[in-house]
Each structure stands twice: as structure tokens, then as C-alpha cells.
A and B are shown apart, each in its own frame.
Chain A
């Protein structure tokens, strides 16, 4: 690891960020070897913790001089390998950029730094009568920068839309260190919607250093219902019926028996009916007068599908309890097996019942246990595949099951990812969904933002469509004079 030019580059890094804010010792770097997707690992050469946009810009400039790949990282909760330094180089970590810079109630907007934790924003603006709508289950840990990069979703995105629908403008640092504004505070900025396409680009276009977000006014009234069923199929049919009836709840989430048990056995215990085959968590918001009517309609649809029990949260505490189980579901699964793989695909909502049946068949045929908790109203499946990474056979079976699930979703017009992104994980599936030409069009946009290809390389696009695959960054193989 100790290569010749490292001391010089290190001195330069220190000069920019301060010596306390750089890691380069392999032992310390280990924590940054992967994100939430642990089966893709690659050690960075440096991790740097800048505090200002200016520092980020200088770091990127330096990376360019050394032809060193760089990758932004928020909290590292990503689930597609996005924040992993695939070719080594520098990780730019945003945890020191965590200020909420401005809240403008009239414009219904907030300006934040990328390291701000998602949940902090809603907390901060609650008193003014607002919230920040996209609410990934990881919202107590993940950063807005990571949310921007992945176009993250959450239960409440069914009605309010995902991250991209809530980003008005971005300050970004691009591959040459230049800082620019994409989008704008005022509506409909002229030109291509670069802000829109930057969101969801998985950190491969540049680093967002300031983000202007749309705030949503808290609804006057909310209703949260829990509907329990004996069978999964009854629950998925209810979801399809609700969508077909033209009702748009704020959230429409499903949990199957494996999840219910895991939650009830954990400290996320929510009082879900333990013996249910599946539960739906249905939330409505809006005006009280309207909710009464909608609630009746939904009750009728639940009952028509043989619902065994319906509970309604009577107060905010009960509502929070119902949600605590859902939000803790992934954590609760930790008890079920040493490792788990959280899959993420989307299917048209009218195909949900048949695809979910396929998921159970597939897991059975590969002898891999599966638990399902997902954004049913969006058609966004999240089968959690349980396995032990120390058992190579089981790991192989898990990956095979995963591949079959993807194929089953694609077969009904589904997509590879609804919120976790492609990253390193699914890029080799990209040509299952897109033609060579489709991928070339995406490559053009990547090239326009990042002509040198140093910004979070090897992510999103499949190996072939990119501009050739270089190996790991090697400071010794730098062109002559690169760091003068």
C-alpha cells in the first residue's frame, strides 16, 4: 500500500482538508470497503472529510491531476455498492457537511448540505407545518446526498413522489472541480433539466454540495389502517383493487408472515397479529371530510378480499407504533439469518399478485428462505433473501434465486430497481432491460458530465457500454509530470 508518491499526495490532501480529516491507514480504511451491500468490496486509498464546497472542489481538482478516481459517500447505507471505491482512489465523505442552511416557508423550500440526515429535515420544519416527503426506511441514518444520488423512495412516495420530485436545485462539483448550479430556486429554469437527470445518477456525474428541497405542508388529517389477512394473495389482490379504484393512499405497504413474526419477536414489536399470513399498512392523508369517504371505500375493498381484521390507529402514538414495525422490519430480519440480500425490483401494479407468487416459488425451488416487506402500492418488491455468506453453496443458491426473481419481474414489464440503484450490483443486468443503443444514449450523458471518467467509475452502466474498463488506480503508473 505504501507507494512512492503517496506522501506527496497526502500532503496535498492535508493541505486542503486538514490532517485530522483524512484516513489512509489500511486498517482505518477497512470500514469504507463496502456500503450496505457487503458482497462487493474494494478498499479506497484515502477517505477525506471536507467541510465546504470549496474543499470538495479542490479535492476533485487534485484527483483529476493524479487521475485518481473519486467517490462521494454519505452514510454508506446504500444497497447497490454505489459508495464503494470500485477502482480504489479517494472517498469524499460528507458527514461534516451537515448544516440546514435555509428554510423558506413561503417558497416551501429548504436548502441543505449533502451530509444532512434525511430525518433531520422533517424534524426541523415540523413546527412550521411542513415535512420532507421522501422517507426511506433508513431515514434515521441516510444522507440527503445519498438520497439524491439514488433517487431514494419510501412508503410515503406513493402519493408524494420520490426524491427527484422534491429536488429544486443543486450545487454540484463536477469532475474538473468546477462548481455549478443545476436547476434553480424559481420554477421552470430554462435549458435541459440537468438537475432532474443528476438525481438518480448514483454519484457518477459529480458531487452535490448544496441541495434545495421542496417541503410539503403537513396534511390536516391522517388515517392509518392495518388490515390483516390469512393469505398473501388476498393482500396483494386488495392492493391491486385499491389502485384500480383510483384511490391514491399516501402509503400502501405490505408485510408477509415471515416479516410479521420477525418484527414481533424483535424490539420493533408493533402488535401486528402474529398469526396473519400478511398485513397491509394503509395510510391516507388530506382533509378529514375526504378521508371518511376514502376509508369506507378501502374498508370495503379489504373486506371483499377476505380481510380478517382491520385496525385503525386512534392517535399519533398508535400510528407511530404501526409504522415502527414497518420501518424496523429490515433490522428485525437480522435475527433470522447471518446474512440477507435485500432485492429491489418493480412490476406494474396489476401484475403484483402473480409476481409475488412467483417469488415464493423461486425461493422454494432454490431452497432459500424469503421474507417480503415492500412498497406494494408502487409495485416495488423487496424480497429479503436469507442466507449465510460462509456457506458458499447457499450463497450461490441465493444469487441464483435473485437472478430468477429479476427475470420474473422483467418478464412482466418490470424494472431492475425501484430505489436502491444499479451501482455495482446490477450493472451486468442492464442489457437485459436496455438495448445497446439505449445504453449508448445514457453513456453520452455520463460523458457530458464527466468526460474523464474519474467520478465514481464502474457504476450503473454495464462493463461493455462504458468507455473501457481500467483497473485499480495505481499511483505508480501515473503519467510523467502528473503531479507537478
Chain B
């Protein structure tokens, strides 16, 4: 992969180390030359973060590829960081296991990138996120020093839990070289039920209701029609603007029981069942659904992630839609109906995006609304001119001071992904 560009910056040099030792050597040289380093995995998330202050060398992890050790009877796997998620999944599948992460683009997204960006998808509702399954790391720090933490143990309190620190750190503390995860058994059967609702409020309420009635879904997603268009799905036509999708995974009998129970629950509610998907259909559907918010688009686009609490989720969805109107963009809304994370994808199809300043104003207003509801808004994707005008993270809490100190301890010269993370880290 050549010609890495990040927010309009082209790097001077691209390195493709073939081993952790080589990576460490390259980093030491860069460190001595004060060269800014940009770690790159599958390049599916380079749009995340503020524009770098400098970008001299791209450190590709594509040479760090493969499973190091897989122990199905311990349910753990160690894998090199440049391995694409799909490649790991196909190895695990051989033993009826999987890593329960479903971020966009599993074919390209590498595990190093997924951990660094703390990427997740719909099944986080049942299985949690990277922090719940990453149990060991090896990492190369900016001066080339290599360290490890954790191990192959599913339970471990020996020393500080460095895995947590590196998860979601956007490559600002080091370049991950090897990761150990605890994995899960594949479910015998899957099913997905798609239900149309007249409003997000009704969809969210139904999701709550399903949990109260003893259902244990893997995922609960409430999407608007626009969002669903990115997934070719076999559903009946319905005029309702929102669709709630529940996925169940268990032994066959338990899956069937849940589907029946759900159908019972929906009767006499404003919901209308559109379709019920079988195991294979579910697999295909969710694979496509996972990448929907990040599907390729030729024109101008923006992606915003708002996290809130249940009480304000419906209102936040409305505000995100309103922002789309102000932007003159088509708005796809993807809401994790169990964790209250909402993604809005704005596409400018038949209109020109506004000036950077106008766009910034819209996002600032949205962020103010989200923050006052106790949540936060991260702009995951937007053109560089807008990024220059707004901090994409919007994080200003007192804990930032501790984060800055940590960054200084690990990267005193500020060479790794400089400026891309919160507070200019």
C-alpha cells in the first residue's frame, strides 16, 4: 500500500518492517532523527483524529501478519498486529470459536488498528468491547523500546493493566506488535428480527421492553431508513421511518424461543415485523451491516458519533437529524439501542457542502447539545478544512492533564501521531 495521505498530509517515507525487531529498529532511527511517525494498519481509520502536526514516516504493520499461538482449549489467541480481523476469524472458525468484535471492514481492518481505535460494532451489546477481551500486548515505544503486558490468562491482576491504557490510544504511546485475546464459542444458531417503528422513541422503548421480558439479544440496533439502504436486506416494504433489529445467538431451541417471544411482544405495539432472518441470512446481513456506516462513497461525507444515556437518546437522534438538514446532507442514523451510541453519517449527494465555518458551527451546536445531556460527540470523519477549525474529540475534562503526563512519559518528543489525539496529544 503506497501513498498514504492523512488529512491532506503526505508522508515523506513509508516503512514496511517485516518483524517486531525491524519495527523497533526503524522507530529508534526515527526517534533519533526526531521524525514524526504515523502507524498504519489497514488504513480503514486514518480519518479518525485531528490533523497531525507533522507526518514524516508511515510505519506500516502489514509485515506483522499471522497467528502466533492459538489455544482453542484455553480459548485464547495471540496474533500479530497487522493481521486483518477476517483472517483471524477464519482461523478461529476452524475450532468453532470467534473474536466477538464486528467493526467495519473486517477484510482490511487489522487487529492493531482495531485495538488502537477501540473499534466496535453491534454485538458489543452482548460481548463488550476491546477492553473486555484484550488480555495481553506487545508494543514498541517511540524510541524503539519494546515492552509487554498481560499474558494468555483470562484473569490477571499482576501489575497495572496496561492493556487498558493502549486500547483506544490511537497509536500515541507505541506501535502494537502482538495482541492476545480471549475468544468465544460460536453460537449454534442465529436469528435476526427486523421490526419497523414510527419513531426512534418507540424503537428504543421496544428494545428496553425486550430486555425486561427476559430476552438476551446479541445486538439491538435502531436505524433510520436511509441507513438501512446501505444494506441490501430482504424485508417487506413499510413506510415506517425506523427499523429495530434484534440479533439472537444461542443453541437453536433458545433462539427460536426468543424469536417467538419477541413476536408476541410486538403484537399490539406500534411495531410491525418486517422479516425474520435465519442463521445464514443473519450472518450475511450483519456482516454488511457492520460496514454500513463506513461504506465507500465517492462524494463528500461526514461521520459523527454521539454517546448519551437512555433518557436523551431519542432527543439526540432528532438533533443529529436536524444537523443534517442544516448541513444540506442526507442523514443516515445508526443507533446502538442498548448502549445509546448514535452514529450519523452525512452524505452530500446532490448539494454542495457548506463552507468549513458553517459546518463547524453545526457540529459545535450538536456537541453542545450532547454534552449538556451528559454525553459526548466525536467527529470521526470530515474533510481536513473543517478539522482545522474544530477539535474532533471535544474532550476538555480535568483528566486531560493526566493523559498529557502519560503521553509525555511515553513519548517525550511527541513523535507518534503528533496532535491527532485528545487535547493535542
Footprint of B on A, CB under 8 Å? 104, 106-107, 129, 150-151, 153, 157, 161-162, 164-165, 174, 178, 180-182, 184-194, 196-197, 199-201, 217, 219-220, 240, 243-244, 246-248, 286-290, 292-294, 346-351, 375, 378-380, 413-422, 426, 430, 433-435, 437-442, 444-449, 451, 460-461
Contacts of A439 in B (CB 8 A): 159
B157 with A150: CB separation less than 8 A: yes
Query: 13 A–B contact pairs at CB < 8 A?
Result: A106-B311, A165-B131, A192-B406, A193-B164, A244-B72, A289-B254, A378-B154, A380-B155, A416-B158, A422-B157, A433-B159, A437-B147, A448-B409
A349 with B409: CB separation less than 8 A: no
- Stretch from B28-36, B206-214, B381-389 that touches the partner: B206-214
A287 with B75: CB separation less than 8 A: no
Contacts of B393 in A (CB 8 A): 190-191
Contacts of B257 in A (CB 8 A): 287-289
Residue of B with least CB distance to A221: B214
B167 with A196: CB separation less than 8 A: yes
A194 with B402: CB separation less than 8 A: yes
- How far apart are the CA atoms of A444 and B143 in the complex, in Å? 15
Name the residue in A186, A421, A435, A438 with the highest tally of chain B Cβ atoms < 10 Å from its Cβ.
A186
A196 with B394: CB separation less than 8 A: no
Closest Cβ of chain B to A263, distance in Å, is: 24
Q: Is B177 an interface residue (CB 8 A)?
A: no
Given A186-B307, A193-B167, A289-B251, A157 and B160 touching (CB < 8 A)? Answer: no
Partner of B141, one of A182, A292, A441, A442: A441
- Stretch from B190-198, B226-234, B321-329, B372-380 that touches the partner: B372-380
A180 with B311: CB separation less than 8 A: no
A243 with B75: CB separation less than 8 A: yes
Q: Is B3 an interface residue (CB 8 A)?
A: no
| Beyond known contacts A187-B341, A349-B154, A415-B151: 16 more, CB 8 A cutoff | A164-B131, A181-B398, A186-B308, A192-B169, A197-B164, A201-B160, A246-B96, A246-B186, A289-B256, A290-B251, A290-B254, A293-B251, A379-B155, A441-B162, A445-B165, A445-B409
Residues 248-287 of B, flagged 1 when their CB comes within 8 A of A and 0 if not, give 0011011011100000000000000000000000000000
Given A186-B308, A441-B149, A430 and B158 touching (CB < 8 A)? Answer: yes
B147 with A441: CB separation less than 8 A: yes
Contacts of A437 in B (CB 8 A): 145-147
- How far apart are the CA atoms of A259 and B230 in the complex, in Å? 59
Residues 157-182 of B, flagged 1 when their CB comes within 8 A of A and 0 if not, give 11111101101110000000000000
Closest Cβ of chain B to A265, distance in Å, is: 30
Partner of A435, one of B96, B132, B147, B341: B147
Closest Cβ of chain A to B112, distance in Å, is: 17
Closest Cβ of chain A to B257, distance in Å, is: 4
Partner of B410, one of A164, A174, A290, A444: A444
Partner of B153, one of A181, A246, A379: A379
- How far apart are the CA atoms of A413 and B402 in the complex, in Å? 33
B307 with A188: CB separation less than 8 A: yes
B309 with A178: CB separation less than 8 A: no
Contacts of A178 in B (CB 8 A): 398
Residues 70-114 of B, flagged 1 when their CB comes within 8 A of A and 0 if not, give 011111100000000000000000011100000000000000000
- How far apart are the CA atoms of A140 and B378 in the complex, in Å? 41
- How far apart are the CA atoms of A446 and B400 in the complex, in Å? 16
Residue of A with least CB distance to B310: A106
Given A199-B161, A287-B250, A378-B155, A192 and B74 touching (CB < 8 A)? Answer: no
B211 with A217: CB separation less than 8 A: yes
B254 with A192: CB separation less than 8 A: no
Given A290-B250, A294-B251, A151 and B161 touching (CB < 8 A)? Answer: yes
A348 with B153: CB separation less than 8 A: yes
A188 with B341: CB separation less than 8 A: yes
Contacts of A247 in B (CB 8 A): 185
Contacts of B308 in A (CB 8 A): 186
A180 with B258: CB separation less than 8 A: no
Contacts of B74 in A (CB 8 A): 243, 348-351, 379
- How far apart are the CA atoms of A420 and B146 in the complex, in Å? 28
A193 with B157: CB separation less than 8 A: no
Contacts of B254 in A (CB 8 A): 286-287, 289-290, 293
Contacts of A447 in B (CB 8 A): 405, 409
B399 with A182: CB separation less than 8 A: yes
Q: Is B403 an interface residue (CB 8 A)?
A: yes
Residue of A with least CB distance to B213: A220
Given A185-B309, A200-B160, A217-B211, A157 and B155 touching (CB < 8 A)? Answer: yes
Closest Cβ of chain A to B314, distance in Å, is: 12
Q: Is B363 an interface residue (CB 8 A)?
A: no
Residue of A with least CB distance to B391: A190
A190 with B376: CB separation less than 8 A: yes
Partner of B216, one of A164, A194, A287: A287
Residue of B with least CB distance to A151: B157
Nearest 6 pairs of A and B residues by beta carbon: A196-B164, A246-B185, A290-B254, A444-B409, A244-B73, A448-B405
Partner of B339, one of A187, A191, A375: A187
B165 with A438: CB separation less than 8 A: no
- How far apart are the CA atoms of A247 and B184 in the complex, in Å? 9
A107 with B394: CB separation less than 8 A: no
Task: Give the interface size class of chain B.
Answer: 35 or more
- How far apart are the CA atoms of A416 and B158 in the complex, in Å? 6
B161 with A162: CB separation less than 8 A: no
Residue of A with least CB distance to B406: A448
Partner of A460, one of B160, B185, B403: B160
Contacts of B19 in A (CB 8 A): none
- How far apart are the CA atoms of A426 and B158 in the complex, in Å? 9
Residue of A with least CB distance to B167: A193
A186 with B376: CB separation less than 8 A: yes
Contacts of B330 in A (CB 8 A): none
Contacts of B405 in A (CB 8 A): 447-448, 451
Contacts of A460 in B (CB 8 A): 159-160
Contacts of A422 in B (CB 8 A): 157-159
- How far apart are the CA atoms of A193 and B421 in the complex, in Å? 13
Closest Cβ of chain A to B408, distance in Å, is: 8
Contacts of B158 in A (CB 8 A): 415-417, 422, 426, 430, 433
A106 with B208: CB separation less than 8 A: yes
Name the residue in B71, B157, B256, B423 with the highest tally of chain A Cβ atoms < 10 Å from its Cβ.
B157
Contacts of A290 in B (CB 8 A): 250-251, 253-254
B402 with A448: CB separation less than 8 A: yes
Closest Cβ of chain B to A103, distance in Å, is: 13
B159 with A442: CB separation less than 8 A: yes
Q: Is B395 an interface residue (CB 8 A)?
A: yes
Contacts of A445 in B (CB 8 A): 160, 162, 165, 406, 409
Contacts of A449 in B (CB 8 A): 402
B399 with A348: CB separation less than 8 A: no
Contacts of A292 in B (CB 8 A): 253
Q: Is B422 an interface residue (CB 8 A)?
A: yes
B340 with A186: CB separation less than 8 A: yes
- How far apart are the CA atoms of A180 and B405 in the complex, in Å? 15
- How far apart are the CA atoms of A107 and B207 in the complex, in Å? 12
